[in-house]
């Protein structure tokens, strides 16, 4: 396969990141250009001001175009927000002629049958991720192609989104002059960027603590079993500091980044730091331990909510490889230790790896989703080249695009 280019846009609550990459003949990513700018018009991962969001996306896209010298006509885009929900579903099909090996068409039919879940009219299926196959009762088949059998089952993870939240996001990206090639659930993208194959096989949890959301993906025995998006992130930590320290938001944000910690006992009791205050007060000194106490309370509460989500997907006993934390707010000192304490699992901080080209800035946890969008779409394309795409139903307008987004994908 010759090299080709890919583009991804991560429309986060605090930043928009556009990446243009070349896919080499060895299927590796070489970064050609990155465009990062502040986000606008988003709250809790969802668009709440279309015009502001279009402007922020257009500016990030323009920067990436300038950096790469490439024109971005279409891109893979991340989707998150508390409106996203997931469930596991089994698809079952009979193999017409058991004397013939299982072919792409059979796998597609099985996936289509798994997609027929009870979706209310105001929701859309955005992913049908195969977890494993069963051929005539033989469990945990990774790839059934070429096998013989008379019945094929597929266990899948189905992700659905609110139609309006999805359309708002598509409208913003298209308003910035870029066609949406596919929508990808952000926790799945982040996992693709930072989890190792071994972690996915042994059982692990990806936790991406962003600005407005915390994205979770739980993996057991090599496959995703649960995904969730909580509407809490670093923005809320900063807001807590605004209230507790009575300082303006930019000053609280700076205090969090420069002096933040989530384990108060690891901060000297008498340590004081200077922060900008409101009004005529100018600067004031505050206890660094107080900052840590405020951040600890919010982060601990967040991990308790995460634990409840993990339990909805798996018994924590099955997650031998533990937790991988990523996202901008995983930069808070002590966050891995607090995660270990609340979740009772080993934790590490995950950064995007294995990138070539102009990629220095992307080796930061804040860019896990951005890099993961490229990786996920690359995996999806490899499969598309291998197999016959399922026919797109004849629908008009936006729904035609949506139908295109509902393509099924296969595991690595
Ligand atoms: N060193 C740091 N210490 C603490 N917090 C940090 C640090 N660096 C970044 N953050 C926080 O990380 C958050 C942004 O993370 P990220 O860039 O992953 O979010 P996003 O992608 O814009 O938002 P989301 O994914 O939630 O829509 C901000 O709240 C920021 O304050
Ligand atoms: Mg993000």
Domain housing 276: 234-295
The CATH number of the domain holding residue 252 is 3.30.420.40
Q: How far is the CA of 206 from the centre of ligand 2 (A)?
A: 13
Q: Split the chain (412 residues) into runs of 10 and give each run's mean pLDDT.
A: 83 97 90 97 92 98 97 97 94 92 94 89 94 94 94 96 96 98 97 97 98 97 96 98 96 98 96 91 92 98 98 96 98 98 98 88 97 93 54 37 39 38
CB-based contacts of 13, cutoff 8 Å, min separation 6 = 39, 42, 43, 44, 45, 210, 211, 212, 213, 233, 235
With a 6 A CB cut-off, is 78 part of the ligand 1 pocket?
Answer: no
Please tell me the predicted confidence (pLDDT) of residue 96: 86
Shortest-distance Cα residue to atom 5 of ligand 1: 329
Please tell me the predicted confidence (pLDDT) of residue 325: 98
Half-sphere exposure of 307 (CA within 13 A, CB side): 15
Render 86-102 in DSSP notation, one character per residue: EEEEEEEEE-S-TTSPP
d(CA 368, CA 74): 21
Please tell me the predicted confidence (pLDDT) of residue 356: 87
Q: How far is the CA of 12 from the centre of ligand 2 (A)?
A: 5
With a 6 A CB cut-off, is 187 part of the ligand 1 pocket?
Answer: no
Asked if residue 328 is part of any domain, the answer here is no
- Which of 267, 295, 323 corresponds to the end of one domain? 295
Asked if residue 204 is part of any domain, the answer here is no
Ligand 1 atom, smallest distance to 80 CA: 27
The DSSP code for 168 is: H
Beta bridge partners of 230: 214
The CATH number of the domain holding residue 142 is 3.30.1490.110
Which ligand has an atom closest to residue 56 CA?
1
User: Which H or E run contains 292?
Assistant: helix 288-313
Asked if residue 94 is part of any domain, the answer here is yes
Asked if residue 41 is part of any domain, the answer here is no
Please tell me the predicted confidence (pLDDT) of residue 120: 87
Asked if residue 173 is part of any domain, the answer here is no
Please tell me the predicted confidence (pLDDT) of residue 279: 83
Q: How many domains does the chain have?
A: 2
Ligand 1 atom, smallest distance to 15 CA: 22
With a 6 A CB cut-off, is 234 part of the ligand 1 pocket?
Answer: yes
Asked if residue 263 is part of any domain, the answer here is yes
Asked if residue 355 is part of any domain, the answer here is no
| pTM for the whole structure | 0.92
- Which of 271, 295, 319 corresponds to the end of one domain? 295
- Which of 279, 295, 311 corresponds to the end of one domain? 295
Asked if residue 401 is part of any domain, the answer here is yes
d(CA 267, CA 262): 9
The CA angle 330-198-302, to the nearest 5 degrees, is 25
């Amino acid at each position: 396969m010759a090299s080709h280019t890919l583009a991804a846009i991560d429309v986060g609550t605090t930043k928009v990141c556009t990446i243009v990459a070349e896919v080499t003949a060895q299927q590796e990513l070489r970064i050609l250009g990155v465009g990062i700018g502040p986000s606008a018009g988003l709250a809790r991962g969802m668009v709440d001001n279309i015009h502001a969001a279009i402007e922020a996306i257009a500016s990030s896209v323009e920067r990436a175009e300038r950096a790469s010298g490439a024109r971005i006509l279409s891109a893979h885009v991340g989707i998150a927000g508390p409106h996203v929900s997931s469930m596991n579903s089994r698809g079952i099909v009979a193999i017409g002629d058991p004397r013939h090996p299982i072919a792409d068409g059979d796998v597609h039919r099985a996936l289509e049958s798994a997609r027929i879940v009870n979706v209310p009219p105001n929701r859309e299926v955005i992913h049908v991720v195969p977890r494993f196959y069963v051929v005539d009762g033989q469990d945990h088949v990774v790839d059934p192609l070429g096998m013989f059998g008379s019945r094929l089952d597929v266990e899948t993870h189905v992700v659905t989104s609110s139609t309006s939240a999805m359309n708002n996001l598509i409208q913003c990206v298209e308003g910035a002059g870029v066609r949406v090639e596919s929508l990808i659930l952000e926790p799945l993208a982040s996992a693709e960027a930072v989890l190792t194959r071994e972690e996915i096989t042994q059982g692990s949890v990806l936790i991406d603590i962003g600005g407005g959301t915390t994205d979770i993906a739980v993996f057991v025995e090599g496959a995703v079993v649960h995904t969730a998006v909580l509407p809490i992130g670093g923005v809320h930590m900063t807001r807590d500091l605004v209230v507790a320290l009575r300082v303006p938001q930019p000053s609280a944000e700076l205090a969090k980044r420069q002096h933040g910690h989530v384990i108060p006992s690891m901060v000297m009791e008498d340590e004081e730091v200077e922060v900008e205050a409101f009004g005529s007060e100018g600067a004031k000194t505050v206890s660094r331990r107080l900052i840590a106490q405020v951040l600890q309370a919010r982060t601990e509460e967040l991990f308790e909510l995460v634990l409840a989500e993990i339990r909805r997907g798996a018994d924590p006993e099955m997650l031998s490889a533990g937790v991988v934390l990523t996202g901008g707010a995983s930069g808070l000192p002590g966050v891995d230790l607090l995660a270990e304490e609340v979740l009772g699992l080993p934790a590490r901080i995950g950064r995007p790896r294995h990138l070539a080209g102009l990629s220095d800035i992307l080796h930061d946890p804040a860019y896990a989703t951005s890099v993961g969008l490229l990786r996920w779409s690359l995996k999806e394309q490899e499969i598309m080249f291998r197999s016959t795409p399922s026919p797109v139903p004849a629908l008009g307008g936006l729904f035609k695009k949506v139908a295109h987004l509902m393509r099924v994908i296969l595991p690595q």
